[in-house]
Structure 1
Amino acid sequence: MLNTDISSTVDLPDTMHAIVLVEPNEQLSLSDVQVPLPTQSEQELLVKVEYVGLNPIDADLAKKGFCQWQYPHIIGFDAVGTVVKAAKGIFPNVGDRVMWHSNIGEQGVLSEYASVPNFAVSVVPDNVSGSDAATLPCAGMTALIAMKKLQISQGETIFIDAGAGAVGQFAIQFAKQLGADVFTTAAKGNHKLVKKLGADAVFDYQDKKLIEKITRELGPQGFDAVLDSIGGESTSRNIELMRFCGRIVCLKPLPYFDEKLLFKKSPNIGILSLAGAWLSNSLCAQQHMSFMSNQLLESLANKTIQTPAIKAIEFNAQAVSSALHTQINGGFTGKQIIKIA
């Protein structure tokens, strides 16, 4: 039975403002609605949401939906807010600021309040702003897991596609901290940015001679590792640029591979999906996400990582729909953050 011996810093309303997807649609059309406050189990917190970070997956799923969703569905995965209700003895405590990446199979976080398991959150340090923290969960954890799956070590070469994207920016920093030589692609206007983050060599992703120029800079040996964030034809291109038995982590579904390419390169291919921690019902994986969040927040507090530039988005359906179009159209540098409160 839920322990209701709870202190609260606010008088809680019965309903809340939320932004929902009534049904998947190509127009990324969303709606402003009033819905009841979410309920909590004994191990869940009620959090007053303050900031929500948008990700490309938000736009993708607004178009096609997800098999476990019931509609209308509250969208959004990355949130920062303050705990306003928790069972006695549960940590974090009422009043603590927390950050988390939510369960893909349940209601999202683009609402004034959200419920989240206490083991899935991380407490935000006092010297980290809520908006900066909201840039971390999806992009930061994806970059961290990618480095671990790729087993990056001192002196290796890594190719990071789309270095100016949020995942790319974090991945460049982590790869350099591990001692790798970092090659990346970016629009010409973002070359200065990714070099400041640590990239050793930057190439224009629109260059028709991209492969030739990378090969000339890299030499004949090929990359030890690749973070493939774009997918499609880029995945085969990236494998072609790898050394024999090199390692690649893909963030998109795998395309059809030419058999000769696979025999030629014998790549070690890994797939990365944060959603799997929830879909597999792995408590260990879900707790590990919290550990990674702690690592990201500690790095940010110690100023050993830099967050992407933030673009503020208003908390209404029209503004968020426009922001999702920006995400899906590409060419966007930085992180779109919605201020809820």
Structure 2
Amino acid sequence: MPHSQAYDELPATMKALALMEPNEQISLSELLLPVPTVQHNELLVKVEYVGLNPVDAIFAKQGFCKWHYPHILGHDAVGVVVQANKGIFPGVGERVMWHASIGGQGVLSQYTTVPNFAVSVVPNELSASQAATLPCSGMTALIALDKLQLSEGDTILIDAGAGGVGQFAIQFAKQRGATVFATASKHNHKLLKQLGADAVFDYHDAKLCEKIRRELGPQGFDAVLDAIGFDTTIRNIELMRFCGRISCLNPLPKFEQELMFRRAPNIGIVSLGGAWLANSLCAQQKMSFMGNMLLDNAARGEIRLPDIHSVDFSAASVSTALNKQVAGGFTGKQIVQISAD
């Protein structure tokens, strides 16, 4: 059922977690800021939960060219609409989920605004915290698989299969009829098998490529979801068939000309934040459609969600959580509770 909150109940100020400047320690500050006001087709949302992602931690350390400081962190949010202009859908009381603009202020605040066309309405079958696990990882996985144009019977390698993107990609690749190979630390192999992976390999193994070829055969992969980048991208192209397809989530390395001629890979770059940076209304609306698909699959129990690790809404707790994101070896989804369901 929709939640309700009258306009006159809205406070004048709100708590937010902000980065005063990029720093290696990801030191954050707790600020008291004015509650934003809606413009045109925007929604004012009382934020309930925020999902943390590796990209949040990376940019907190390095900064981002479009940011102004202090900068509120966070991109994945779920909350209840508390204010909207007349005729705007979703209306007041609806619970919504979205992935926020990478170029604007983030969502680690008690209230925030978002264009109405970029959100998805959360079904009653899912809790707000469950929905907060979906946007960045789930949408990135869907975009990557769309670029790979998977057909039934294709073979795909999914790197970093235990990460958020990897877990969703394994499940959606199986829905599309692919044979899924994945890499992960050995202690995560059982999880990836449960998600549907047909074969899982330890990415620490010095004989990784040899073992993959022994299992796969001489033909090479039809498709690769390259979640790590750099030298791993070169290795993955070597494992592909001639004219195979690869979706890359990170910057490309410098390729040797001989490798490009020998493999002739079809390289796709995945940029979820590009929908906002390119100011593409069509791409932003597609994020809403992808959100609907993720929520529908989750509500019907057709995809398994990552395990949730709760994080307090405090500068110290979120800083610790973001540092954990980039330290490696973390499985599951860290979710910051801003307000109760």
SS in 1 for 2:322: helix
1:4-35 CA-partner distances (Å, limit 9, x unpaired): xx972661111100000000011111111111
Instruction: Report the CA distance shift for 1:246/1:293 in structure 2 as closer, same or farther (over 3 A).
Output: same
TM-score, normalised to structure 1's length?
A: 0.97
What is the 5 A alignment of 1:164-243?
164-243=162-241
Q: 1: CA distance between counterparts of 2:329 and 2:124?
A: 33
132, 136, 139: which is aligned to 1:138?
A: 136
Letter in 2 for 1:168: G
2:91 matched residue in structure 1: 93
> What secondary structure is seen at the aligned counterpart in 1 of 2:246?
strand
Output the CA distance in 2 between the equivalents of 1:327 and 1:9. 37
Map of 2:315 onto structure 1: 317
* Percent of paired sites with the same residue: 68
Q: CA deviation at 1:39?
A: 2.0
Deviations 1:159-181 (A, max 9, x none): 00010001000000000000000
- C-alpha change, 1:228 and 1:10, in structure 2 (3 Å) is farther
Q: CA deviation at 1:192?
A: 0.4
Structure 1 runs not aligned, ≥5 long: 1-5
| Partner SS, residue 46 of structure 2 | strand
Give the CA RMSD over aligned residues.
1.1
What is the DSSP-based 3-state SS (H/G/I as helix, E as strand, rest coil) of the residue aligned with 1:296? helix
28-37 or 244-253, which deviates more: 28-37
Indicate conservation of the 8 Å contact 1:9/1:95, yes or no. Answer: no
Q: CA deviation at 1:185?
A: 0.5
**CA contact 1:45–1:116 (8 Å) conserved in 2:** yes
Match for residue 69 of structure 1?
Answer: 67
**For 1:141 and 1:106, how far apart are their aligned partners in 2?**
19
Contact 1:9–1:94 under 8 Å retained in 2? no
Residues of 2 paired with 1:190 and 1:264: CA distance?
34
The reply on whether 1:288 has 2:286 as its aligned counterpart is yes
User: Whole-Å Cα distance in 1 between the matches of residues 8 and 120 of structure 2?
Assistant: 21
Figure out how many residues of one structure are paired with residues of the other and give that number.
336
TM-score if structure 2 supplies the norm length?
0.97
Aligned counterparts, 1:103-118, within 5 A: 103-118=101-116
Instruction: Map Cα deviations across residues 182-227 of structure 1 (whole Å, 9 max, x no partner).
Output: 0000111110000000000000111111011111111110000000
Offset from partner CA, 1:137-156 (integer Å, 9 cap, x none): 00000011111110001001
SS at match of 1:111: coil
Aligned to 2:303: 305
Contact 1:10 1:84 in 2 (8 A): no
**Structure 2 spans left out of the alignment, 5+ residues:** none
User: Offset of 1:105 from its aligned partner?
Assistant: 1.0
Detail structure 1 runs of 4+ shifted over 2 Å in the superposition.
6-10
Aligned to 1:125: 123
1:39 aligned partner? 37
